[in-house]
Amino acid sequence: MKIIENPNKSEWQEVLKRPTQTVDDIESLVIQIFNEVKIDGDSAIKKYTLKFDGISLESNLVTEKEINDAVSKVPVKLQNAIKKAKKNIEAFHLAQKTSKVYLETTNGVECWQEKRAIQKVGLYIPGGTAPLFSTVLMLAIPAQIAGCKDIILCSPPNKEKNLAPEILFAAKLCGVTKILKVGGIQAIAGLTFGTETIPKVYKIFGPGNQYVTVAKQLATKYGVAIDMPAGPSELLVVADDSANASYVASDLLSQAEHGIDSQVILVSTSKSLIAAVSEEIKSQLAILPRKDIAQRAIDNSKLILIEDDNIALELINEYGPEHFIICVKNEAFFVDGTCNAGSIFIGDYTPESAGDYASGTNHTLPTNGFSKAYSGVNLDSFLKSMTFQKISKEGLLNIGETIELMAEAEGLQAHKNAVSIRLKDLKK
C-alpha cells in the first residue's frame, strides 16, 4: 500500500481517487447489450451468457427441483448460521416500520401518508469469484417485510451451469418468487425490459461490478428505479495509537479480497501504527486464498498520515466511504462528526464483516462517494410513500379562496375554476 504523509487539501481529490473506469469507457457496451435485449429478449440473454460466462443454457429459469436439490447440499451448520443471520436482519428491518401519518391541517381538511410496497422488484446477486448469498438476505428480507408481490432474483451461473446452493437456499428461505441464471449487464437489461423468462420490474436492487453499476444507471432512462449506484466495494479505517494493528489490517484485507477494483484506505495520526499495519498486511495477505485478488486491490489502496483528528474528519467526509471503521480513543468525535458514510463500525470489536453478514444492518451501500447523497438499502427502499387528502364542505370553504388566489397568480385558470365551481354551489 502506498503511504502518503500529510497531503495538502489541493491534493485530496487525486489522493482519494477511486480505481474505477469512467462511465464513458463502459457505456457503449452497456447500450449495445441493452438494445439487443430490448429487441431479441432471451436470445440476446443467451448470447451474452455464452460470451461472458462461457456457458450455453437451455433455460434461464431455476426450477423447483434445482432449488430443493441445492438445499440438501448446504451443510446444516451453515444453514443454521444463515438462519441466525436472517433473524437479526429481519429484526432490525422490522423495527424500521413506521405508522400512518395523519393530520387535519385545517378544519375539514384531512391529510395522511401511508406506505405501500413496490409490487415488482429485481434483486441482482453478484456471482463471479465469490457468490454473495449474504446479499440475498440483505435484499430479499426487507422486500418480503415490505410486502413486495414479485421478488425476482438474477445471478450469474457458474461453469457447471448452476447457481451456488447457498444462494438458492437463502432465496427459498427469504421468499424470492422467481430465480434466474443471468448475470452482468444482460441481467439488468432483462429486468429493465422483460423477456420471455425474465419479468420486467419497477425497481432494481443489488451491488455489482462497474458494468452492472453503469447498467443500473442506464435502466433509469427506461423508467426503472434503482436502489443506488453501488459499485466496487470500499472501506476506510480511521485509527490511532490505541488501535490494534492486526485488527486494522484484517479489516482492510477483508474488503480488498472482494475484487481487484476494490479500494481500502487507512487514515491515521500515528506513523508507528501505519508502519505496523503495513507489516501486518504483508503477513496476513501471504496466507489468504484470494491473495492475488486482494494484492491487486491493495495496490490501489493507501495509508494516509494526517496531522490531527480535525483534518482527518474533513478528509473522511470528503471521501464519503461505503464502509467506515472507527478505532480511536476519541471515537465520539468521529461518530458525531461523520456526515458522509454508508455504514459505520465503531470500536476494536466491530469488524466490517459483522455488517456484511449477521449484525442486522444492511450491507448494500452507496460507493464511489455517493454516500454524500444516498442511503444504504433499508425497509423504505422497498416502499413508496403515498399521500391522501379528504376535504369536507367546511374544509373547502376554509381553503378555497387561498387556492383560487394562488392558481390565478400562476395563470392557471382551470385550476381556479375547479375550486370556484364548487364554492359557488356551497354558497347557494
Mark the binding-site residues, compressed into ranges. Answer: 124, 186, 209, 233, 255, 258, 323, 356, 410, 415
3 state DSSP class of 108: coil
State how far the Cα of 68 lies from the Cα of 209, in Å rounded to an integer.
29
Burial class (CB in 10 A: 0-12, 13-18, 19+), 373: exposed
Contact 205, 122 (CB under 8 A): yes
Helix boundaries (H) for 269-427: 271-285, 291-299, 309-319, 331-337, 352-357, 393-409, 413-426
Helix %, strand %, coil % for the chain, to 5?
50, 15, 35
**Catalytic status, residue 11:** no
What distances in angstroms separate CA 213 from CA 55, 189, 207, 217, 377, one per listed residue?
23, 12, 7, 6, 15
Angle, nearest 10°, between helix axes 76-94 and 165-173? 40
Look up cell 489541493; give the residue: 10
Cell of 333: 468525535
Active-site position among 93, 257, 280, 323: 323
**Catalytic status, residue 363:** no
By C-alpha distance, which of 179, 174, 112, 118 is closest to 146? 118
Residues belonging to the binding site for Zn(2+) are: 255, 258, 356, 415
Angle, nearest 10°, between helix axes 271-285 and 291-299? 150
Active-site position among 93, 322, 352, 363: 322
Cell of 272: 508507528
Residues belonging to the binding site for substrate are: 233, 255, 258, 323, 356, 410, 415
Cα–Cα–Cα angle for 21, 23, 24, nearest 5°?
100
Length of the chain in terms of residues written: 428
Q: Are strands 178-180 and 203-205 parallel, antiparallel or unpaired?
A: unpaired
Cell of 299: 495496490
Catalytic residue positions?
Answer: 322-323
